[in-house]
Amino acid sequence: MLAVAVRPPALAMGPQSTPAPPVQQAHQPVPEDLRNDREVMLQAALQERAAAPAIAAAAQQPPSIQDIIKEAFQPLGDQSVDWAEKIAFCESTYDPNAVNASSGAQGLFQFLPSTWQGTPFASASPFDPSANAQAAAWLLQTYGSSQWECQA
Question: Do 25 and 89 meet the contact criterion of CB atoms below 8 Å apart?
Answer: no
For residue 140, the enclosing domain spans: 65-147
pLDDT digits (tens, 9 = 90+) for 98-107: 999 999 999 9
Asked whether the CA dihedral 63, 142, 107, 128 is positive or negative, the reply is negative
Residue 106 lies in a domain: yes
In a domain, residue 46? The reply is no
The alpha carbon torsion through 83, 120, 129, 55 (nearest 10 deg) reads: -100
- CATH number for position 82: 1.10.530.10
Q: Which positions ≥6 away from 86 have C-beta within 8 Å?
A: 150, 152
Which residues are within 8 A (CB) of 96 and not within 5 positions of it... i.e. 6 or more apart?
65, 107, 108, 127, 128, 129, 132
Instruction: Judge whether 126 lies within some domain.
Output: yes
The CA–CA distances, whole Å, from 76 to 43, 73, 97 equal 44, 5, 25
Find all residues with CB under 8 Å of 125, minimum gap 6, and list them.
Answer: 131
Q: How far apart are CA 32 and CA 38, in angstroms?
A: 10
DSSP letters along 49-84, please? Answer: HHHHHHHHHHHHSPPPHHHHHHHHHGGG-HHHHHHH
129 in a structural domain: yes
Position 52 scores a pLDDT of 74
Domain count, the chain: 1
Instruction: Report yes or no on whether pTM surpasses 0.75.
Output: no
Nearest CA to 129 out of 79, 92, 76, 103 is that of 92
Residue 92: burial class (beta carbons within 10 Å; 0-12, 13-18, 19+): buried
- Among 38-47, 99-108, 119-128, 131-140, whose mean pLDDT is lowest? 38-47
Examine residue 44 and state whether it is found in any structural domain, yes or no.
no
pLDDT of 17 above 70:
no
In a domain, 115, yes or no: yes
Which pLDDT score is estimated for 140?
Answer: 97
Residue 25, domain member (yes or no): no
For the chain, give the percent of residues with pLDDT over 70: 76
With respect to residue 34, please indicate whether it lies within any of the assigned structural domains. no
